[in-house]
Amino acid sequence: MKTIDKYSHFLFTLPALLLYSLFFIYPMINGFLYSLTDWDGLSTDKQFVGFTNYWKLVQDDRIVDSLGFTFKYALALVIATVILALVIALLLNRIRRFQSFFRTSYFFPAVLSMITVGLIWNQLFAHAIPDIGKAIGSEMLSRNLLSDPNWVFYGILFVSLWQGLAIPILLFLAALQSVPKDLLEAASLDGASLFQRFRSVVMPFLIPVLNMIVILTAKSGLTAFDYIVAMTGGGPGRMTESVGLLVYNFAFQEFKFSYASALAMVIFVIIGIISIVQIRSLSRYEVNA
């Protein structure tokens, strides 16, 4: 009994070790190896081609465009999320009554699946918004904005925010509520204006959460897939083909499996850098909390 128990802790980790090695580490390594070949994903024949795929990546306009769209989208998403979530959290923090009702209501979109949200808005953009446009005589709104090259970006951004604001709002609100009341009162007695109070008293309490939100949102923006698939499929043309979608398309629609693997490695490096920043800010957050 005693001797068996000596290995218990090791046995505790065994299922996780097996699962993780087989379904995570092994594919990880394979992904990198695939990226060094010319494999199409189906044939039994594959050649080692070194870093050729990576060189091709840099010269591929479709990838450059896709990265451009993805960065622009992620950046806009981060900026809009931070500003709007903060404003809504400040408003929520102000009100005296119904606060929990509003909190719950603003949170609700977070529990829905992104694919459903995307498909709902896809339908509303096709049927509801043009009706509103016609009713108010706005020519711009009378079209399906998702098939309009000038507006599709904002259409997707709007839907991402509709759902994506939910959690940042609550994170900001929790941070706002951690600001000691007497500190605010003291500042107010000293004659600090609303803005001054926000900048000097409230802001320091928001910084850690702000870091979190920026990184989480950037990550979700850079890996966008569900909304795009549900709303535009990457169109019109290839305007909204995010890198997440591009990896999928290359690998499973166009049979450039090794090429897609190389692109995935590039995403890994980009997100890896962002995540290292995340872990850093996380450890800082834990010291402060």
Partner 1 sequence: MANDKKLSGLSMALLTAGLVIVFLPLYLTLITAFKTSKESARDFFSFPSELYWGNFLEVVGSNNFVQFFMNSIVITAVSIVLITLIVPLTAYAISRNMNKWYYKTLFVLFIVGIIIPFQVIMLPVTKLMTQLDLLNRPGLILLYVTYALTQGVFLYVGYIKTSIPKELEEAAYVDGCSKFRTYRSIIFPLLNPLTATIIIINAFWIWNDFLLPLLILNKSEAMWTLPLFQYNFKSQYTFNYNLAFASFVLTIVPIMLVFMVFQKQIIAGLTGGAVKS
Restricted to residues 13-52, the positions that interact with partner 1 (CB under 8 A) are: 13, 15-17, 19-20, 22-28, 30-31, 34, 41
Residues 187-206 that bind partner 1 (CB under 8 A): none
C-alpha to C-alpha distances, 180 to 197, 219, 288, nearest whole angstrom: 12, 32, 15
Window contacting partner 1 (CB under 8 A); options: 52-60, 176-184, 196-204, 253-261: 253-261
**Residue 136 engages partner 1 in binding (rule: CB under 8 A):** no
Report the b/e string of 196-209 with b at 16+ CB within 10 A. Answer: ebbeebbeebbebb
Report the b/e string of 249-283 with b at 16+ CB within 10 A. Answer: bbbeeeebbbbbbbbbbbbeebeeeeeeebeebee
> Can you give the length of the chain in residues?
289
DSSP helix/strand/coil, 191: coil
Nearer to partner 1, 52 or 223 (CB): 223
Residues 203-232 that bind partner 1 (CB under 8 A): 209, 212, 216, 219, 222-223, 225-226, 229-230
**The one among 64, 79, 83, 115 contacting partner 1 by CB under 8 A:** 115
**In the complex, what is the shortest distance from the CB of residue 234 to partner 1, in angstroms, rounded to a whole number?**
14
Nearer to partner 1, 145 or 222 (CB): 222
Residues 52-91 that bind partner 1 (CB under 8 A): 88, 90-91
Report the b/e string of 168-195 with b at 16+ CB within 10 A. Answer: bbbbbbebbeebeeeeeeebeeeebeee
Window contacting partner 1 (CB under 8 A); options: 45-53, 61-69, 166-174, 179-187: 166-174
Residues 92-111 that bind partner 1 (CB under 8 A): 92, 94-98, 102-111
